[in-house]
Structure 1
């Protein structure tokens, strides 16, 4: 029973985190400079309170599942952890660029950060497939 509660909390944290990263990516790539200031100020508060907390939940509940129930025997889990680590780094870059863009709305981030939507979406699909199919 505890396993399913932890797994549910892990999946809920995943959904909230990915949603927050998609919102960040949208604002970074699509919101024009004249209105960035107010939008980014509101988004940064949401990112700190909700998205970053969900990221902590993803790692906490995921590591509890890995250490307590699954083990590190499957190669699929190693690849999943690598992808989640890269997404965590992307979230950090998004947060940093939101902070910079709030200070200077005319600033444009590098392509890797501004093209975050497809990166997040493809990575999420791969992680879900790895977790469900466990191909290796």
Structure 2
């Protein structure tokens, strides 16, 4: 079977599939951990006075989290995850479609949180603290759904 990047690509993934999957899972862990931390950081930043030293410190923490963990983990998770998905094939794997849909929503959530962090670092408070507390649950719910899709593989 010739894969989306040619026959040689499938051969490489055939022999290194477990390694690709291991790297994918590791970076998904890093990404989800960052997604648990970022809203919590924003909750703490929310109560600080705009322009204060404390707000500056939370801004610095958010930026480091974003640059060192969140964005690189998002990119690696998508690259390795799509490689696995193309290798597996999409036909008949409705669980895979559902998983990718949840991951896409999680990526949008990621972008929303990053956007909120940037606005808050400029002294804005675009959402209530309570909204951030509710939003903090999204990564947990997404993780539950993704694990069920990957382990149980329900067919719709």
Q: Same fold (TM over 0.5)?
A: yes
Aligned 1:1-136 pairs, distance under 5 A: 1-31=15-45, 32-34=47-49, 35-68=54-87, 70-73=88-91, 74-104=93-123, 107-109=125-127, 114=132, 115-136=134-155
Distance 1:44 1:121 in 2: 22
Structure having greater relative contact order (Cα 8 Å, sep ≥ 6): 1
Alignment size in residue pairs? 134
Cα deviations by residue, 1:54-111 (Å, 9 ceiling, x for unpaired) = 000110000000112x11121111111111001001101111111111110x514268
Aligned-CA RMSD value: 1.9
8 Å CA contact 2:96–2:150 kept in 1: the answer is: yes
Is the CA contact (8 Å cut-off) linking 2:24 and 2:77 kept in structure 1?
yes
- Considering only CA atoms, is the larger Rg found in Structure 1 or Structure 2? 2
